[in-house]
Structure 1
Amino acid sequence: MNRSMKQYDPIDFVVDWVDSNDISWKKKKSLYEENVISSVDDSQARYRDWGIFKYWFRAVEKNAPWVHKIFIITDHQNPKFLNKHSSKIVFVNHEDFIPNEYLPTFNSDAIEIGIQNIPGLSEHFVFFNDDMFINKPVKPIDFFDGNIPKDSGVMGPQFPISNSITHITVNNMEIINKYFLKKKVLRKYFFKFFNWRYGKDNIRTATALPWQVFIGFYDMHIPISFLKSTFDNVWSEVGNLLSQNYQHRFRSQLDYSVWLMRYFQLASGNFFPRRTRFGKYYNLGEQTEEIINDIKTGKHALIVLNDQESINDYPYEKKLVNEVFERRYSRKSEFEN
């Protein structure tokens, strides 16, 4: 049987979304912003709405019609364009899977770290942020092979630069180095970490070899294929640390992120190697021309459009991105009213 035609267990998509223009949400957020300190990341780019979320659904319908369910994590905010009665759409409010004593929260790390507790979520799911788009037709085998998550096991250093989450990924790596010996992992899964599918990116892993410990994994910041059981296993090991996220209503340098679950899958060898060029991460404003070209041509299967505080003309950039999405996905999806 053709590998792409294998019978797969249900694969869900999970996406978190916030309507930053919602007056009620703004008022609630403002009640807690007075206590925000400099170590907390509460930049406008974390919440700004580009008006392109409807194209996320249109792209899913056109490029991944096989998806089982789509779980939308919101804080009682339902996108007005969505059909609430769609059989594939499941709205998830924060209290559905986060303890009430920690709500409200505006910390994506706190929201994402426990998504395995979402009622009804399948064992196999792909996690998206709302700036991550499926950009051309994909199959289940692009995300799971024999029900094993697809990923790129490329190593690399963590870069301490501004407007990054390096402080949080370093927190994640501290846990990884507590539970995994790099030498043993490489000996056991050598051809998963040095693989022809990574091309030149194998050099990244090679440069990390002199260190006895894991100095980091290459984060491409694209949708991640997850096993729900991975979350359960990690929580059983370090739940006391992960639960500290809930103490921070906004992003904090002390957080752990959902990437920790990815790192556990990689270090456990519980992944099937996938091309590093399967997805592409772009910065809005800086790479708008490249973004437009990729959406037009479908060059990469997955694209990420990262917002930047430094964008000079947000309305103009927003107009350009909306126009190219509308040209590519002009037809309403089954998920829309």
Structure 2
Amino acid sequence: MIALKVYRALPKSYRLKFIQLLPPQRQLWLVRRLTRMAPRRSRVPVGQLRRVKDHGTWVRAVVAAEASPAALWRRNLDLVTQALNSAGIDNFYVRHLDNLRSSVAVPLSRKAEVLRVLTQAARGQGVVLRHVNKAGDPIKPKRAKIVQLFHAVTDPGGGTVYGRQFACEVEFWRAVPAQESTPVPQIIAPRNNQIAPSLPAAGQTEAVPAADLNHFVPYRDVTYRTRSEYAPVGYEQVTFPIDLVYTWVDGNDSDWQQRKNQALRDNGEAEINIIAANMSRYISRDELRYSLRSVHAYAPWVRQVYLVTDDQVPPWLNTEHPMVRVVRHREIFADTGKLPTFNSHAIESRLHRIPGLSEHFIYVNDDMFFGRPLQPDTFFHANGVSKFFPSPAQLDVGPATIHDAPVTAAGKNNRRHIQEHFGRTITQKMRHVPYPLRKSVLEEIERNLPAEVAGTATHQFRHPEDLSIPSSLQHYWSYFSGRAVPGPIEYTYADLAHPSTPVKLALLLANRHSDVFCLNDTESSDVLLTEQHAMLTDFLTAYFPFPAPCELPAGTEAERAGMTSTARAEAFLPPAPAIPAPRGAEVSTDAPAGQPERVG
């Protein structure tokens, strides 16, 4: 306790200097104990209420075993519309400026009746009713022309709260008679929205799927009544499907370790870059489980998740759930490259060959996480143009050499090809964040650089002649061919071995201020690995407490935990189909107009 008080009393600029007085293997250990990762709360049983803070306001939230922002958005909107419809009160959906919330218009003349109905609806457990102004701040009921209604939900530990951020807001629209400037009667909203704050009083309504009304939610099985003026899809709304691709390896799998050790012997360990073969690159700390939870919570619009593995399956993954499809390496390598492979560059060079993959997709490593609710336009423009996220870090000058780190060598090779094909040079690296990609661009790169792409696929370990295609080359190729533009993203990167990381993670948990974040490790000792695992467990279980639908029940997971990842793949995956390599170019039926032909 005395050490903790001394540590917190130090200016921030001196804290790290204080920690560095310890041996390196003890620095992370000490900071983790001095940092309060999350409030130490008692756990409350599911179904009961607990008092928690929702964006600075105390509410009584229902403790839930499962929850997601999209589900709460729908639940809140259904609560309001069903209550109003049952009372015979005319209402229609309004496109809110904030897509995390829904909005419903009702006549101002029926305000008293509407408030009685909403008050009755708010008597449900964990339901909150608030009178707010245009900015969403509480005001006195008599002055309020907007009412929020929402379910407040939390996890048993009370660390994650879904509440007013996903509220349904009821707007009281006033009627205005015809005037000289407006020859037809109008109804006027109390605030702006995505389409228009005023409408003709008489107009048609339509039933529109939720996914067409809102950029965030995926639901097409439910419709809501809205005015015809609000029914068309806006120019800024992404309507094409977006898939998500993970590459994953379980380095703890004994079968996989045997394959890797044999490949090392076959390749000659002395000739392989020590970084490329370091075990920290392959260790699974269950990050994938929590990364998928982040997708379910904060990117529910993803159509399909593909998990690319070397015949491996996590013990907790329900391989029959439609959310995730496991893709074996041999499905995408076919008669190209060399398997087994332990080279991420080689695996990434084959991603565009995933059967059924959409033209637009996002490539994600299992150490990347979505940190808060995001919309598709974070990664793609509505016209199909993708975004990329340059890093301030600069790429070293000069050609690739055997002495370069593998990622540096690949970046230099990328630069050479961009210079040759577009007459421009690469100076910046890319941020280690989810990568928006176009399948047609990857296929175009393979057509233009067949020997280099095939060579990358052949290297079983990272090699000085590799290309880093999805993480760098594709973005610059797309940019110089008019199919990508730089974009902004709020991003946090944490090196798991660094002693300041527990403090960084504690702030991230408290503020949840990043769109995405990465928890990365390139080389750590066994002592640090133990501390990192404990730190990650504390952080990830607090940040993502609600399971994804693709997770197995705890009992089934325990039964499979004793099997190797490879044995689980053989037992619970269908046999990998024999996918022949493309023999020639043909026009893709789903290629956007004006885009180049794509390989098979």
Structure 1 position 153, deviation (Å): 5.3
C-alpha distance after superposition, 1:183-203 (max 9, x if no partner): xxxxxxxxxxxxxxxxxxxxx
CA distance in structure 2 between the partners assigned to 1:164 and 1:110 by the alignment:
12
Q: Which moved more, 1:279-288 or 1:103-112?
A: 279-288
Contact map agreement 2:406 2:464 (CA 8 A) in 1: no
Match of 1:317 in 2: 532
Q: Could you tell which deviates more after superposition, 157-166 or 277-286?
A: 157-166
1:173 correspondence with 2:415:
yes
Matched, 1:144 2:350: no
**Which of 1 and 2 has greater Rg?**
2
For the residues of structure 1 that align with 2:485 and 2:239, how far apart are their CA atoms? 15
Q: Retained in 2: the 8 A contact 1:39–1:253? A: no
Query: Retained in 2: the 8 A contact 1:156–1:215?
Result: no
- Higher strand proportion (structure 1 or 2): 2
Q: % of aligned pairs identical?
A: 28
State the shift of 1:141 in Å. 0.8
Unaligned runs of 5+ in 1: 183-213
Q: What residue in structure 2 maps to residue 187 of structure 1?
A: none
Q: Which one of the candidate residues 473, 476, 497 is aligned to 1:263?
A: 476
Among 238, 243, 246, the alignment partner of 2:457 is 246
- 1:243-271 per-residue CA deviation (whole Å, 9 max, x = no partner) reads 00122111111111122112211232322
Task: Name the counterpart of 1:91.
Answer: 326
- The residue number in structure 1 matching 2:487 is 274
Q: Are residues 215 and 229 of structure 1, via their aligned partners in 2, closer, same or farther at CA, if it must alter by over 3 Å?
A: closer
Aligned counterpart for 1:37 among listed residues 266, 270, 273 = 270
Amino acid at match of 2:253: D
Paired with 1:113 and 1:292, the residues of 2 have a C-alpha distance of 36
User: Is the CA contact 1:296–1:328 (under 8 Å) kept in the aligned structure 2?
Assistant: no
Shift of 1:219: 1.3
Q: Which has the higher helix share?
A: 1
CA distance 1:255–1:39, shift in 2 (3 Å): same
Give the distance between the partners of 1:260 and 1:138, measured in 2 at CA: 25
1:164 & 1:95 partners in 2: Cα distance?
Answer: 24
Residue matched to 1:70: 305
Structure 1 stretch displaced more, 96-105 or 320-329: 96-105
How far does residue 108 in structure 1 lie from its aligned partner after superposition? Answer: 0.8
Give, in whole Å, the separation in 2 of the partners of 1:215 and 1:37.
31
CA contact (8 A) 1:136 1:298 kept: yes
Q: Retained in 2: the 8 A contact 1:135–1:295?
A: no
Q: CA deviation at 1:321?
A: 1.4
The 5 Å alignment of 1:1-150 reads 2=194, 5=215, 6-34=237-265, 35-40=268-273, 41-100=276-335, 102-146=338-382, 147-150=384-387
Q: Secondary structure at the match of 1:252?
A: coil
Normalising by structure 2, report the TM-score: 0.48
Where relative contact order (Cα < 8 A, 6+ residues apart) is larger, the structure is: 1
- Structure 2 residue runs without a partner (length 5+): 1-94, 96-193, 196-213, 216-236, 398-402, 553-600
Aligned equivalents of 2:238, 2:427: Cα separation in 1: 34
Q: 1:229 — aligned with what?
A: 440
1:186 alignment partner in structure 2 = none
Say what the alpha-carbon RMSD is for the aligned residues: 2.2
Query: 1:145·1:272 contact (CA, 8 Å) conserved in 2?
Result: no
Once the two structures are superposed, residues 78-112 of structure 1 have per-residue CA deviations (whole angstroms, 9 ceiling, x without a partner) of 11111111112111000101034611111111100
2:496 equivalent among 284, 287, 301: 284
Q: Secondary structure at the match of 2:429?
A: coil
1:304 aligns with 2:518: yes
> Contact (CA 8 Å) 1:155, 1:218: kept in 2 or not?
yes
Task: Answer with 99-108 or 26-35: which moved more.
Answer: 99-108
- Give the letter aligned to residue 62 of structure 1: A
Q: Which shifted more, 68-77 or 41-50?
A: 41-50
Q: What CA distance in whole angstroms lies between the structure 2 residues aligned with 1:325 and 1:9?
A: 31
| Cα distance change on mapping 1:295 and 1:251 into 2, 3 Å | farther
- State the number of aligned residues: 305
| CA deviation string 1:205-248 (max 9, x = no partner) | xxxxxxxxx14233111111001001011111111111001221
Return the alpha-carbon distance in structure 1 between the equivalents of residues 300 and 252 of structure 2.
30
CA distance 1:267–1:278, change in 2 (3 Å): farther
Report the secondary structure of 1:313's partner residue.
helix
**In the alignment, which residue of structure 2 is the partner of 1:197?**
none
